[in-house]
Amino acid sequence: MTYDFSSFKNNIKETEEWLVRGLSGVRTGRATPTLLDGIKPEAYGTRTLLRELGSVSVEDARTLRIVPWDKTLLKIIEKGIVDADLGVGVSTDDQGLRVSFPALTSERRTQLSKIAGDRTEQAKVALRSHRTDALKALEAAEEAGGMGEDEVKRLKSEIQKLIDAGNESLAKILERKEGEIAQ
């Protein structure tokens, strides 16, 4: 009997994707539309994602431009951004809004690096949990008589190799994000 690694590999991949998504919301020195993804202004009687109310584009390295599809929503969108307390400046004109991100201070860069490190640590904990689950499944298969001791030892080694590769991938993701924060 052989062990199916597809579910285990999928869990590792999902953990890496979770970290990338989580770090995309951590502000760097550059303005990106994903920084506004969590903002949901009250529009048309319900909370609506900002990207569903208009187009969000990068105007320059520290400025985003929001052009609402319905110009009557300008004040509502502005209020939603201000209420999100992102530490940004918001100005409106007849066409839309400009969201200006101030330059990062060295203190803020340190805080953001710590946040990125904390999220990476959460991802590593998730990987360890996936490894524990896989090892329990192997032990159950061994006890059921489906695998020999040598086969279990080989599969445990394979699981550890996959975890090591996953941890290396997480470290590269963190290193990339810290590089963006430092710019």
Looking at the structure, tell me whether residues 109 and 173 fall in a common domain: yes
Domain final position from 67, 82, 100: 100
The verdict on residue 109 lying in a domain is yes
In a domain, residue 41? The reply is: yes
Residue-range definition of the domain harbouring residue 70:
33-100
Per-residue pLDDT of the chain (183 residues; tens, 9 = 90+): 566 788 889 999 999 999 988 887 776 667 778 878 778 888 888 888 888 888 888 888 888 898 998 888 888 888 888 887 777 888 888 888 998 888 878 888 888 889 899 999 999 999 999 999 999 988 888 888 777 788 888 999 999 999 999 999 999 999 998 888 887
CATH number at residue 169: 1.10.132.20
Say if residue 114 is in the same domain as residue 178.
yes
User: Of the candidates 68, 100, 132, which is a domain's last residue?
Assistant: 100
Q: Domain count of the chain?
A: 2
Does 162 fall in a domain? yes
Give the residue from 119, 124, 116, 122 showing the smallest Cα distance to 179.
116
Tell me: do 91 and 128 sit in the same domain.
no
Question: Residue 2: what pLDDT?
Answer: 62
Same domain, 110 and 174: yes
Q: Is residue 160 part of a domain?
A: yes
The residue out of 65, 83, 100 marking a domain boundary is 100
Establish if 19 belongs to a structural domain: yes
- Which residues are within 8 A (CB) of 172 and not within 5 positions of it... i.e. 6 or more apart? none
Are 31 and 61 spatial neighbours (Cβ–Cβ below 8 Å)? Answer: yes
